[in-house]
Structure 1
């Protein structure tokens, strides 16, 4: 079962993570040093600290600097795509079918197994048992060709009750409880607390299984978290005097 990590609701965000969060929110994800510093100082980071963190991120290859602008590295652009897919998922009407993925490759290294698990989790699938992953077939997203050599993918119609199967795959109550607490925190009047809560909310949305409405518990906060993030992004890039 995919569970929600039992962790503190809000953790301090380093300057490096703050800049990454700012670039993940920017559209397009390319900002000048002045824009990065303006957003960072608005949410409680000193300009000098932000500049040092940005310089270190360029040196480590996490950011690229071109024409006085900073953008995400290709690896972090993949993270950006996952965030975008979580914030604005593409859904189709659910017919009752399920997507089933069976891992067929053998003899893989621990690193390869970890990468594959990350890929399948990122696609919104959950593990029913070792090597067997499922989800309702209501989510539109591209399927990475690299997985064709390690997995078999099919559409099935389970005999058992869909709600019972969902309960075996995800801990929805835990996700909802944490999501509701994060939603409350994003309404804080303290700029740094709001920023920290919003960053945590985005990470939480990446773990949203995006299930059909009739399979979700009452009060599911997924759409409210998405709306809170959509409202937050313009505020982040607006100077207080605007």
Structure 2
């Protein structure tokens, strides 16, 4: 049961409460673990990796084909993948080559935030989002759940989502149409509540396995696949304040390994410091 143990008070963020949390929470695992071994990337994933990781807004088709060849994707296969992705709306054709479509631009933003999360000092407050909309269909409910998970919130019980208020990002304004956002301070010890909401030990175990795979990968294609798995896993990192994490948390080591990988990538001719191939796509 979720009990309100203090009176409401006005605040700039809506309302603030202190809660007693005596409820069994569901497992909040946005990336269920099915073994940490990286899977080989398809031609589409390789091409998408090149575009998601590029600092430039677009890349010429000839250069994309040349770069894809480094990762074992032949020219005709790469050109076919580009054509299919453009037809599907994932990419936009331009006079200069190809650029990401709107949906993949959002993925690029989330991927960048996963690798370099913006945090602030934690004062003990938790973000709280209570779903208020009713009568929604399965697709709408699934979409809202995916949005809240992408915001690194976790579900305490049906319709009640929260996380420590240590991220330097606002909640989307349109969320207020279907939910009531606010702040709270649960009665349960913060570290215990974090362990209830997120499978922290399982995330850490998978991260350590991925670090091992990264160290053993020897070919460009193998390393690309390994770091694609790293990015997928970082997207599921709850980015909690240090006091709420288990000892020897491997998140910083995983991010540092990925940062080193980006620095290793060859530079595009005439592009200064822009990597030719950088952030692998979690596809």
- TM-score by structure 2 length? 0.81
SS of residue matched to 2:72? coil
The match for 1:150 is 178
Q: For 1:128, which of 147, 156, 160 is the aligned residue?
A: 156
CA distance in 1, matches of 2:99, 2:109: 14
Q: For 1:2, which of 25, 28, 40 is the aligned residue?
A: 28
The 8 Å contact of residues 98 and 135 in structure 1, kept in 2 or not, is answered as yes
Q: Structure 1: where are the runs of 5+ without partners?
A: none
Structure 1 runs of 4+ aligned residues shifted over 3 Å read 234-239
CA distance in 1, matches of 2:65, 2:169: 34
The 8 Å contact of residues 105 and 150 in structure 1, kept in 2 or not, is answered as yes
| Residue 53 to residue 234, structure 1, CA distance change in 2 (3 Å) | farther
The 8 Å contact of residues 86 and 205 in structure 1, kept in 2 or not, is answered as yes
Higher relative contact order (CA 8 A, sep 6+): 2
The 8 Å contact of residues 42 and 236 in structure 1, kept in 2 or not, is answered as no
110-119 or 220-229: bigger deviation: 220-229
SS of residue matched to 2:226? helix
Residue 200 (structure 1) shift: 0.9
Q: For 1:208, which of 203, 213, 237 is the aligned residue?
A: 237
User: For residues 52-201 of structure 1, what are the structure 2 equivalents within 5 Å?
Assistant: 52-187=80-215, 188-201=217-230
More helix per residue: 1 or 2?
Answer: 1
The match for 2:281 is none
Q: For 2:45, which of 7, 14, 17 is the aligned residue?
A: 17
1:14-73 Cα deviation digits (max 9, x unpaired): 111121122111113421113222321212222221111011111111100112221110
SS of residue matched to 1:139? coil
The match for 2:5 is none
| Residue 70 to residue 142, structure 1, CA distance change in 2 (3 Å) | farther
SS of residue matched to 1:107? coil
CA RMSD between the two structures: 1.7
CA distance in 2, matches of 1:137, 1:80: 24
Rg: which structure is higher?
2
SS of residue matched to 1:159? coil
Q: Structure 2: where are the runs of 5+ without partners?
A: 1-26, 269-283
- TM-score by structure 1 length? 0.94
